[in-house]
Amino acid sequence: MQESATSKINMPRLEIWKEAKRERRPLSFSLEFTTRCNNNCRHCYNGLAADDKSAIEKELPLEKIKNIVDEAVSLGVLWCLITGGEPLLRRDFLEVYLYLKRKGLLVSVFTNANLITKRHVNIFKRYPPRDIEVTVYGVTKETYEKITRVSGSFNAFMNGVKLLLDNGIKVRFKAMALRSNLHEFSQIARFCRKYTKDYFRFDPFLHLRFDMDSSRNAQIKSERLLPEEVLSLERSDHKRFKVMKRVSDKARRGQYLRTGCNHLFRCGAGNNNFYVSYDGDFRLCSSLCHPDCVYSLRTGNLSYAWLNFTPRVKDMRSNRDEFLDRCRGCRLIKFCFWCPARAYLETGELDAPVDYYCEIAHARAHSFNFI
């Protein structure tokens, strides 16, 4: 009898990973419930208004979501991340959450916590998530609401967090490092670490908009930190700095060089995971929205997407001299935030260098006396 995906959850993690790699099957997937959000954050790359009618019409219906989940489980998936927008905006959020749990999946939820209610907490207590991951934009009302641009959002955030923590729900905090919250980032880090003793991460790298909205992209760029500010934050985080030091040591030994290779993708996207957007697009990762890298699950099926479409995307190549010289053959590639998905959002091309990422990579390399 073939062993079920559910029964494999108790296998040692390394053994699961090795088996998945041998069989080329997915271990996890992200399910974007909606792209709508109750906030209007200055740096957001995909959020639309909570009442956006066009977005509501495009959202996958409940039965289609269930079909995709069924297919994912049959492929061997063990873990699902529920994300958005703000996933709690969908009225059927709890129904889908319970469906995932009853399928035996580990489930994580990304949320701003503004919409958490006692009903959510009661379900989470009875059917515990792997974790609830909450983004902290600020620890004062002034900073938080400068970023979210919604009056009352800070109190809603604090009330939601209190509900989760008071009821013993596992919460992990993360933060976006922005121009608007840099002045209180040390307080944000202390807040996050106070309640997340085993885990805290921050992200200083802001994606541009999936919809290419020029005015929103200008807002995002205005929130980006200078390379030296990014470096200062990274050096202030002991765990992150240790990881960067290991990267530097390996890079010094030439372990990351890919000279002679013209593949676009050298990351983990599509290795053992995939992403399903709110309107049914299959992607190798959340950021990869180039038309050639998107497969519609509204008209196709997940098995075909994973077994046939994914390998084709992973095999995409470029012989553009600028790409081969500046990116693929660069000694600083592991210090850099560049990838084809982000390059497309920045330039409209999958294989174009991005000056901002180059500047950060050089600043990181200089800090380790690498160049």
Q: Kindly write down the DSSP assignment for every residue of 198-247, as one continuous string.
A: T--EEE--PPPPTT--HHHHHHHHHHPPPHHHHHHHHHH-HHHHHHHHHH
pLDDT > 70 in the chain, percent: 90
256: tokens are 């990351």
Give the per-residue pLDDT at 8: 55
Over residues 133-148, the pLDDT tens digits come to 999 999 999 999 999 9
Q: CB of 106 within 8 A of CB of 72?
A: no
pLDDT at residue 10 is higher than 60: no
Residue 2 DSSP class? P
pLDDT > 90 in the chain, percent: 75
Give the per-residue pLDDT at 60: 97
* pLDDT, averaged across the chain: 90
Mean pLDDT check: name the lowest of 42-51, 158-167, 206-215, 262-271: 262-271
Q: CB of 194 within 8 A of CB of 161?
A: no
Q: CB of 189 within 8 A of CB of 240?
A: no
Residue 262 DSSP class? -
pLDDT band at 371 (very low <50, low <70, confident <90, very high): low
Which domains does the chain show, CATH number per domain? Answer: 6-225+266-316 (3.20.20.70), 226-264+317-371 (no CATH)
pLDDT band at 2 (very low <50, low <70, confident <90, very high): very low
User: Which residues are registered as beta bridge partners of 282?
Assistant: 276, 295
Give the per-residue pLDDT at 368: 80
Over residues 109-121, the pLDDT tens digits come to 999 999 999 999 9
Give the per-residue pLDDT at 1: 38
Average pLDDT over residues 32-55: 96
Over residues 52-82, the pLDDT tens digits come to 999 999 999 999 999 999 999 999 999 999 9
pLDDT at residue 330 is higher than 90: no
d(CA 18, CA 109): 26
Global pTM value: 0.90
